[in-house]
């Protein structure tokens, strides 16, 4: 019987310790109430006073259970630091009475007496009696308590005691006048917080081991899984008070050290949410408060300038240390952005895993908390990935957030912005449509959608729709109303120049059948609407230089050159160094044939924007016309030098960030990259030296620099496209000088970049034609046409006899002619291809003229003139047809009209100015 009683006693004691360690307060209360009537001590004690000792022990357990249940019920007040009163909290009053009686009698064993003091100290704190709490902990001697070989519940009690002592010292009335004493108080507070943090982590790690063992052994009566364990208020405070206090006081170094130590400890299930918060806070510190120059990696020592700021640890040797993750094969970030990104990606994974997606009413609060935490992580990810240009990764992260972002505008809008930034424009428009539904009164959403549609997508109908959405808001759109009118005006302007082209083929068929021309009226109407809309935008925002610029551009497009210059001067007064304004001014001067003035403006703009290849290409055209090809070649050489400088800068920045996350790594630098044009005056330039040099440079370019492999595609594509255009421009200039060897060299350099480029194939065909190899030229033109059916220069060369090639086409157009097509029937010719530009009709007339169908050619060209009355090329082509028919007087009138219209044509079309928001 004695053995049976002893076994029962041990089992009861084990259950009590388990309940106290795992926080099963209801069960502990039941066990304590069972213990009181027995009047038996939990362990062997002397017979004298044994009943009283057992009763006090049971009272202490009951008091602890009552206090913990009260704190759990009043968690909100505890979190807001609102003191609890005995009058309003019966459980608190009862617990205090039990503990006071126990301590007054003093019959408990010393171990349990210490426990009672720790519990009473906690009770004093929640009552707001901070001095009493400090006194009670001093009486218990917590500074000398050892946590080694102590049961789990004791680790919890000591953890709470240290954190409560630190909080009590912080909140107690400060009556200390001595600065030295204040510093001692602050150090004491930090010692309490750091000790509490260490012991708390040890407690949670040991608790997880115990619970896992309990679950695996399926001990009878243990129906609680570890996932049900929740951190109490004081355990959370113990984990975070140390680093929070450091950061509040501006001790960034110590705060970061504390956060890193917490994140390096072996994780438990109960600390997963806390660690996500800690990772997020460390990321905020890294991004906001630490520069890259002051960064030190988690596995390295502090920088020397921070060593004096790092004091020795306050943690006593009596405390056990938590287990840490091993550093073997661990990834170590190289800068603060990398570490922040690593932390945030971990936090994002945890936020997605723990997201509450249920729409049930009882889950509303949990769903709101989950969304708030996730939104904070994604905001930080936007900042971090934005610094590295990692918008593709950001959009992928935000797409994962959509599963719990129902009706959440912020996350949807962030997703749209990330997709715009990474070039997923079509997806961005779809997302922005959803954003507009969530916030129908926000003008910035449809305005951004209009910008994407007008710019990268060229969806003019959709752009018009979004612009009208902004305008329909009226005065509610505020300052965005003017931008809405600007967007609408740009869509009308773009529709007038190329928005109607898709229906041009069917229109020409209608012209041939009925003779009715409706496109000219549509184009004129769109131009008129564009001017009216842009003027309305200007009335709403008279100080917006961008609106005035596009109003001037629209006037230039309809050949009102003087009015365009007048308005452009207003734009330049508002913004004197705007690139597009200066570029347009140069084009307007060139349209008036003031080439020197145009060159002066371009040179001034190039000084402000030396890396603008658009300006430099215009400068080449102006110099070619005004000063000759030799001067233009000098600018081409300068463009090559500028390209190489930009390339080297990008490479240098890429090498500095070689260990960091980058969006598109730059191609590895090679010492052989040195771009120069051949010297046309070199005595050996026409000998074997030029061809062998071109061949060797072609091989070098293909193997090292500009291969059409993934290596080239890793770099910025616009840069390589610009290089191709520079080589081809130089080749054209050399051909103008009849320096065919040098032109061949330039074409080969361009071909090494993009071998199948239609521009390269066309230039090779032109070179072959100049050499007299007409069959080779025809094949190259045919290949170029296969790549790009919209190349007017290609089709012009195919469809016009060699003497007519001297006619220059400044812009690329879609032409109709196909050498493999049967042209016995003009309708089959019209059905063979779709027109791509408004001015293609006059090219059709030239083809028909060569086929001796001059009457039909004359009709098509007259229709082309009705479509676009300002096309001097169409008038000139009509004059050629009339001349071939012997109608010399009418031909002379057409030629004179073409000359008059050509007098207002710029060296490069006005459409080179980008029309975008």
Query: How is the chain split among helix, strand and coil, in percent rounded to 5?
Result: 70, 0, 30
At residue 884, the pLDDT reads 83
Least confident of 453-457, 742-746, 871-875: 871-875
Mean residue pLDDT of the chain comes to: 78
At residue 826, the pLDDT reads 31
Q: Is residue 539 scored above 90 in pLDDT?
A: yes
Mean pLDDT of 901-913: 85
Rounded Cα distance, 497 and 296, in Å: 57
Q: Is residue 768 scored above 90 in pLDDT?
A: no
Question: Is 602 or 405 the better-scoring residue by pLDDT?
Answer: 602
Mean pLDDT of 45-56: 59
At residue 434, the pLDDT reads 94
Q: Which residue from 63, 336, 346, 316 is spatially nearest to 196, judged by alpha carbons?
A: 316
Q: Which residues contact 564 (CB under 8 A, 6 or more apart)?
A: 552, 553, 555, 556, 584, 588
DSSP bridge pairs for 265: 324
Q: Which residues contact 350 (CB under 8 A, 6 or more apart)?
A: 272, 273, 275, 276
At residue 214, the pLDDT reads 66
> Within a 10 A sphere around the Cβ of 502, how many other Cβ atoms?
11
Question: Is 174 or 674 the better-scoring residue by pLDDT?
Answer: 174
Question: Is 688 or 366 the better-scoring residue by pLDDT?
Answer: 366
Q: Which residue from 883, 897, 792 is spatially nearest to 841, judged by alpha carbons?
A: 792
At residue 616, the pLDDT reads 93
Question: Is 308 or 405 the better-scoring residue by pLDDT?
Answer: 405
Rounded Cα distance, 507 and 501, in Å: 10
Confidence label for 317 from pLDDT (cuts 50, 70 and 90) = low
């Amino acid at each position: 019987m004695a053995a049976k009683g002893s076994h029962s006693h041990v089992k009861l004691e084990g259950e009590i310790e388990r309940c106290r360690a795992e926080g099963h307060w209801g069960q502990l209360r039941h066990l304590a109430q069972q213990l009181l009537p027995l009047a038996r001590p939990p362990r062997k004690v002397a017979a004298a006073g044994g009943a009283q000792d057992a009763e006090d022990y049971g009272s202490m357990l009951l008091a602890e259970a009552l206090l913990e249940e009260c704190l759990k019920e009043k968690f909100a007040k505890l979190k807001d630091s609102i003191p609890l009163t005995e009058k309003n909290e019966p459980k608190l009053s009862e617990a205090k009475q039990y503990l006071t009686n126990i301590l007054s009698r003093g019959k408990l064993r010393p171990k349990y007496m210490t426990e009672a003091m720790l519990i009473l100290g906690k009770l004093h704190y929640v009552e707001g009696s901070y001095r009493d709490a400090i006194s009670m902990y001093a009486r218990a001697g917590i500074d000398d308590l050892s946590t080694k070989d102590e049961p789990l519940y004791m680790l919890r009690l000591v953890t709470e005691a240290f954190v409560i002592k630190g909080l009590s010292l912080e909140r107690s009335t400060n009556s200390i006048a001595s600065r030295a004493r204040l510093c001692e108080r602050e150090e004491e507070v930090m010692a309490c917080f750091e000790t509490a943090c260490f012991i708390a982590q040890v407690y949670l790690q040991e608790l997880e081991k115990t619970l896992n063992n309990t679950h695996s052994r399926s001990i009878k009566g243990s129906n609680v899984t570890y996932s049900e364990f929740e951190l109490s208020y004081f355990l959370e405070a113990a984990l975070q008070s140390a680093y929070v206090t450091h950061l509040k006081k501006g001790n960034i170094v110590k705060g970061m050290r504390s956060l890193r130590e917490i994140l390096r400890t072996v994780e438990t299930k109960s600390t997963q949410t806390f660690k996500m918060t800690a990772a997020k806070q460390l990321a905020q510190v890294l991004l906001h408060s630490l520069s890259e120059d002051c960064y030190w990696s988690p596995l390295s020592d502090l920088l020397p300038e921070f060593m004096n700021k790092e004091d020795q640890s306050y943690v006593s040797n009596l405390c056990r240390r938590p287990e840490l993750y091993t550093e073997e094969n661990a990834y170590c970030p190289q800068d603060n952005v990398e570490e922040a990104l690593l932390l945030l990606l971990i936090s994002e994974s945890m936020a997605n895993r723990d997201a509450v997606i249920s729409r049930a009413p009882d889950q509303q609060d949990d769903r709101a908390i989950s969304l708030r935490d996730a939104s904070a992580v994604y905001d930080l990810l936007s900042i971090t990935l934005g610094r590295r240009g990692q918008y593709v990764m950001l959009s992928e992260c935000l797409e994962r957030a959509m599963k719990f972002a129902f009706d959440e505008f912020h996350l949807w809008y962030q997703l749209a912005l990330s997709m715009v930034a990474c070039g997923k424009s079509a997806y961005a428009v779809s997302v922005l449509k959803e954003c507009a539904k969530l916030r129908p009164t926000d003008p910035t959403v449809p305005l951004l959608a209009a910008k994407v549609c007008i710019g990268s997508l060229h969806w003019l109908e959709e752009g018009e729709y979004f612009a009208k959405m902004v305008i329909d808001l009226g005065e509610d759109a505020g300052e965005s109303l003017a931008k809405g009118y600007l967007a609408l005006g740009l869509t009308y302007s773009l529709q007038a120049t190329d928005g109607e082209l898709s229906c041009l083929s069917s229109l020409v068929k209608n012209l041939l059948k009925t003779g009715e021309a409706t496109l000219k009226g549509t184009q004129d109407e769109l131009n008129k609407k564009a001017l009216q809309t842009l003027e309305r935008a200007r009335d709403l925002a008279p100080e917006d230089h961008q609106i005035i610029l596009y109003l001037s551009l629209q006037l230039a497009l309809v050949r009102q050159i003087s009015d365009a210059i007048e308005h452009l001067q207003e734009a330049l007064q508002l913004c004197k160094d705007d690139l597009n304004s200066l570029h347009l001014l140069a084009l307007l001067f060139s349209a008036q044939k003031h080439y020197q003035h145009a060159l002066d403006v371009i040179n001034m703009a190039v000084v402000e924007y030396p890396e603008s290849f658009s300006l430099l290409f215009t400068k080449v055209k102006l110099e070619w016309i005004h000063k000759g090809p030799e001067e233009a070649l000098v600018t081409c050489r300068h463009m090559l030098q500028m390209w190489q400088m930009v390339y080297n800068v990008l490479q240098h920045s890429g090498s500095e960030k070689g260990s960091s996350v980058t969006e598109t790594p730059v191609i590895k630098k090679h010492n052989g990259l040195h771009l120069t044009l051949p010297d046309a005056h070199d005595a050996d330039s026409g000998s074997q030296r030029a061809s062998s040099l071109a061949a060797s440079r072609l091989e070098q370019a293909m193997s090292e620099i500009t291969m059409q492999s993934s290596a080239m595609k890793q770099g910025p594509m616009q840069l390589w496209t610009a290089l191709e255009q520079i080589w081809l421009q130089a080749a054209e200039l050399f051909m103008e000088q009849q320096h065919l060897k040098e032109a061949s060299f330039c074409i080969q350099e361009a071909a090494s970049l993009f071998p199948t480029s239609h521009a390269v194939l066309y230039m090779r065909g032109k070179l072959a034609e100049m050499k007299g190899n007409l069959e080779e030229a025809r094949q190259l033109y045919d290949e170029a046409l296969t790549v790009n059916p919209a190349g007017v220069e290609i089709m012009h060369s195919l469809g016009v006899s060699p003497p007519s090639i001297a006619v220059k086409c400044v812009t690329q157009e879609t032409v109709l002619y196909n050498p493999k097509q049967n042209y016995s029937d003009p309708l089959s010719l019209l059905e063979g291809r779709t027109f791509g530009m408004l001015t293609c009709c006059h090219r059709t007339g030239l083809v028909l003229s060569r086929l001796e169908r001059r009457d039909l050619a004359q009709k098509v060209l007259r229709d082309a003139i009705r479509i676009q009355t300002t096309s001097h090329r169409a008038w000139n082509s009509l004059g050629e047809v009339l001349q071939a028919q012997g109608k010399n007087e009418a031909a002379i009138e057409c030629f004179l009209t073409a000359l008059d219209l050509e007098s207002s044509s710029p060296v490069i079309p006005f459409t080179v100015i980008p029309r975008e928001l």
